[in-house]
């Protein structure tokens, strides 16, 4: 009798266990969704070469405060969007951080879910999506770099870069793959007054250009060593790199006798649709826009705070603002660029034979 009763009890327990597992699976509370992890796909620039960048500090503080581990994947802006597109049916990342126009492109491809992080009310309307699909977390500006040790007279204009002295000493990252590479096209089209004259110039520049580079961040070490004399970049990334690369200097090309120009190129973050750890992604976005993290943008990251209520007064902030003195800041037509980006990239490929 006891043996029979024991068998019945075990059978009941087994059935209950199976029911529990089935209900848990049906309810959507899977082990994956409870996992204390968040995966970030990001454009390069915010993580330090020696583990001392803004991401390094903020991610460490986030992990300590929440117990959520940050898994970080880095590449060019276009590269990160393309990866997310390939994984759309089986999303692997939770948060996407890219430069324009790739964040808009990600939204157009249905990759982003609406979420307004805490603190987003302090971000200018121009630096976030009206439907809360993305918001800037670090403000930034497009620029170029040169080797100040090798060049006693730094370049000032686009035209100077056509000089034979720069043959195979210039390189810019690949438009359509890297955000800063795409920015080369945007600035050239603005400065030269349209697509055709810009492509004609870039065709001429190709004589001195080393060739494509998927990552802008990899160009700075080459400039610092003198392998290159000039490359493209952005203010935040290059300013941060200059702390360990003493030969780097930032500049903004002008056309002819005109003023040097630049435009805002912020790091914009969005929550990926069907993110495997959506709630963790939301927590990270909140943390990136927190007052604590934003106060470190200039002091640690060498960038500009996205929140307008953060008034940085550290030495980096003062120097960064000084870099932009006398530079004309224009606002690209991001709607046009988002719509016609492929056309502009194809025109560049045709002009340069890339």
Q: Which of 65, 125, 130, 143 is nearest to 306 (CA)?
A: 125
pLDDT of residue 9: 42
**Pick from 109, 116, 100, 178: nearest CA to 335:** 100
Strand segments (E) across 2-105? 37-43, 69-75, 95-98
pLDDT of 186 higher than 90: yes
281 contact partners, CB below 8 Å, separation of at least 6:
38, 94, 95, 115, 271, 272, 275
Q: What's the CA gap between 8 and 304, in Å, rounded?
A: 68
CA–CA separation, 155 and 208 (whole Å): 14
Instruction: Tell me what pLDDT residue 49 has.
Output: 81
DSSP-derived secondary structure letter, 175:
B
pLDDT digits (tens, 9 = 90+) for 227-250: 999 999 999 999 999 999 999 999
Q: For 277-325, how does the pLDDT look when each residue is reduced to its tens digit (9 = 90+)?
A: 999 999 999 999 999 999 999 999 999 999 999 999 999 999 999 999 9
Query: What CA–CA distances, in Å, run from 326 to 27, 76, 298?
Result: 59, 29, 20
* pLDDT at res. 159: 98
Q: Which residues contact 181 (CB under 8 A, 6 or more apart)?
A: 76, 172, 173, 174, 175, 212, 213, 216, 232
Q: What does R_g of the chain's alpha carbons equal in angstroms?
A: 24
What confidence score (pLDDT) does residue 334 get? 87
Q: Measuring CA to CA, which residue among 10, 55, 17, 3 is closest to residue 303? A: 55
pTM exceeds 0.95: no
């Amino acid at each position: 009798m006891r043996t029979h009763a024991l068998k019945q009890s075990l059978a009941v327990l087994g059935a209950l266990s199976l029911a529990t597992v089935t209900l848990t699976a049906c309810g959507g509370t899977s082990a994956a969704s409870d996992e204390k992890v968040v995966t970030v796909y990001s454009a390069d620039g915010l993580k330090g070469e020696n583990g001392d960048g803004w991401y390094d500090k903020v991610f460490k503080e986030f992990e300590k405060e929440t117990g959520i581990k940050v898994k970080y994947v880095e590449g060019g802006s276009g590269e990160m969007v393309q990866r997310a597109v390939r994984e759309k049916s089986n999303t692997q990342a939770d948060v996407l951080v890219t430069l324009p126009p790739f964040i808009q492109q990600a939204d157009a491809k249905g990759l982003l879910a609406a979420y307004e992080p805490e603190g987003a009310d302090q971000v200018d309307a121009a630096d976030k999506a009206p439907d809360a699909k993305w918001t800037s977390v670090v403000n930034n500006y497009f620029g170029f770099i040169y080797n100040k040790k090798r060049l006693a007279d730094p370049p000032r204009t686009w035209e100077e870069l056509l000089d034979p002295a720069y043959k195979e000493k210039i390189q810019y990252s690949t438009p359509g793959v890297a955000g800063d590479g795409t920015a080369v096209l945007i600035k050239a089209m603005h400065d030269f007054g349209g697509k055709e004259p810009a492509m004609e110039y870039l065709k001429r520049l190709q004589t001195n250009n080393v060739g494509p580079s998927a990552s802008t961040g990899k160009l700075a070490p080459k400039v610092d060593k003198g392998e290159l004399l000039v490359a493209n970049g952005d203010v935040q990334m290059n300013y941060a790199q200059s702390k360990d690369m003493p030969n780097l200097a930032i500049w903004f090309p002008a056309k002819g006798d005109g003023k040097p120009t630049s435009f805002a190129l912020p790091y914009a973050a969005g929550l990926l649709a069907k993110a495997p750890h959506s709630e963790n992604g939301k927590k990270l976005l909140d943390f990136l826009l927190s007052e604590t993290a934003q106060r470190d943008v200039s002091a640690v990251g060498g960038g500009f705070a996205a929140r307008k209520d953060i008034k940085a007064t550290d030495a980096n902030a003062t120097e960064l603002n000084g870099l932009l003195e006398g530079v004309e800041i224009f606002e690209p037509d991001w709607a046009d660029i988002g719509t016609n980006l492929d056309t502009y990239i194809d025109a560049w490929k045709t002009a340069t034979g890339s």
